[in-house]
């Protein structure tokens, strides 16, 4: 109880000091100041750390019910701030919110070759994020639904095939090409070949329904006119180095549900680990497409035909229980599938930006960890008309996050 008393006192003290400083300097406005907001975030971090020191961590990161059935899950609690700056207007905006994510699933090994799996998650009807904003009087009930449901079989010495709703069969070192929270609905197939001398080649593919276009009339046949996507990827691994080349081929069935329409998207990736006292994992992704569409229903704007390429630089390392990440992004509007509709949503927007991600994490052991993140992005192409969804259309955005994670 003493620890929590000290923590609560510290929270109030930090906030009062920040508010007093800004009042004296004449900066206080009708809305919460940035200084007070930062103090609140620091206080939140202090509270969680204090709680972690008093709560024992779980002993395992998985629960085996029997030799054939296992259950697993994870919970995340997040505090997040967004700041949006718009040059030339008076509509700079700020937002802070507390969020949570919960996932629970099971796997059952029906035979030596066949596995049945299901996973449930919060915000299951959200395309890119299973995180749910806290608020008991928000007017909407907490959503929890099916996130995965599949049957998977192993074949040969290195083959797999799954049917249903499953994680994408695609190697990535970040989620700019495909968001890991989006579970394809269709089928996945792959085979891993051993090449000897600590080397292997993985060939894999995923077919997914993007949207189902319903019934056709009697004069047309729409049986194969659904919006679909097909990925193909080759991944070569040797020692601590990986090279991959992949594509996503999007077929627009004609219902205007897909941003960019029919298009092929490509990504080439290289990753390796340095042989130093502090090993650093370095990587680069290069993205491009043949999508020359500007934006949905748009007829004006800059020369966006040049906005079909992008790249991501990746760096990460670990020291004991600490982990560190840095990523630099330069993402053209049309360089990522569906103009970012299936890309990461860690940033405020998913395409048409350049920016950086900074992250520091700490593992408490037993499946419990904590991390702090900063995402900063600037708009690339300006003057966009009729742009919707995840496309960057404001001048500058900064997002701050603190996450407490626990899994079993």
* 192-227 residue pLDDT tens: 999 988 899 999 999 998 877 666 655 555 555 678
> Above 90 in pLDDT, residue 261?
no
Query: Are 299 and 190 in contact, with CB atoms under 8 Å apart?
Result: no
Query: Are 179 and 128 in contact, with CB atoms under 8 Å apart?
Result: yes
pLDDT of residue 141: 58
> Above 70 in pLDDT, residue 231?
yes
Q: What is the mean pLDDT of the chain?
A: 79
pLDDT (mean) for 297-306: 47
pLDDT (mean) for 300-321: 79
pLDDT band at residue 44 under the 50/70/90 scheme: very low
pLDDT (mean) for 257-279: 87
pLDDT of residue 329: 96
Domain 56-407, architecture per CATH: Beta Barrel (2.40)
CB atoms within 10 A of CB 323: 16
Task: Of 37-41, 222-226, 322-326, give the lowest mean pLDDT range.
Answer: 37-41
pLDDT of residue 380: 82
The pLDDT tens digits for 153-162 are: 999 999 999 9
pLDDT (mean) for 232-237: 96
Rounded percentage of the chain residues whose pLDDT exceeds 90: 47
Length of the chain: 408
**Which of residues 49 and 80 earns the better pLDDT score?**
80
């Amino acid at each position: 109880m003493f620890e929590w008393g000290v923590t609560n006192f510290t929270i109030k003290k930090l906030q009062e000091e920040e508010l007093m400083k800004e009042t004296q300097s004449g900066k206080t406005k009708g809305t919460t100041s940035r200084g007070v907001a930062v103090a609140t975030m620091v206080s939140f971090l202090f509270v969680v750390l204090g709680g972690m020191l008093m709560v024992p961590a779980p002993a395992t990161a998985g629960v085996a019910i029997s030799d054939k059935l296992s259950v697993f899950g994870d919970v995340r609690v997040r505090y997040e701030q967004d700041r949006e700056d718009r040059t030339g207007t008076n509509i700079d905006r700020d937002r802070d919110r507390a969020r949570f994510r919960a996932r629970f699933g099971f796997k059952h090994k029906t035979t030596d070759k066949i596995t049945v799996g299901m996973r449930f998650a919060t915000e299951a009807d959200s395309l890119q994020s299973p995180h749910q904003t806290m608020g008991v009087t928000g007017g909407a009930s907490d959503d929890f639904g099916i996130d995965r449901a599949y049957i998977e079989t192993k074949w040969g010495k290195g083959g797999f095939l799954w049917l249903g709703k499953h994680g994408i069969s695609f190697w990535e070192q970040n989620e700019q090409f495909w968001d890991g929270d989006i579970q394809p609905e269709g089928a996945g197939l792959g085979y891993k070949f051993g090449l000897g001398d600590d080397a292997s080649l993985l060939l894999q593919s995923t077919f997914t329904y993007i949207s189902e276009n319903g019934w056709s009339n009697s004069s047309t046949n729409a049986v194969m006119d659904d919006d679909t996507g097909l990925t193909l990827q080759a991944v070569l691994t040797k020692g601590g180095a990986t090279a991959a080349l992949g594509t996503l081929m999007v077929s627009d069935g004609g219902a205007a549900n897909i941003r960019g329409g029919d298009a092929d998207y490509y990504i080439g990736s290289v990753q390796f680990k340095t042989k130093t006292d502090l090993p650093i994992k370095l990587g680069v992704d290069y993205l491009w497409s043949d999508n020359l569409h500007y934006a949905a229903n748009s007829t004006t704007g800059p020369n966006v035909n040049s906005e079909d390429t992008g790249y991501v630089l990746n760096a990460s390392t670990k020291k004991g229980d600490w982990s560190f990440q840095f990523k630099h992004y330069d993402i053209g509007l049309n360089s990522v599938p569906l103009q970012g509709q299936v890309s990461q949503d860690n940033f405020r927007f998913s395409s048409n930006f350049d920016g950086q991600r900074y992250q520091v994490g700490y593992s408490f052991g037993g499946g419990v960890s904590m991390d702090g993140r900063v995402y900063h992005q600037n708009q690339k192409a300006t003057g966009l008309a009729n742009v919707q969804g995840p496309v960057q259309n404001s001048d500058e955005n900064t997002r701050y996050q603190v996450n407490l994670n626990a899994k079993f």
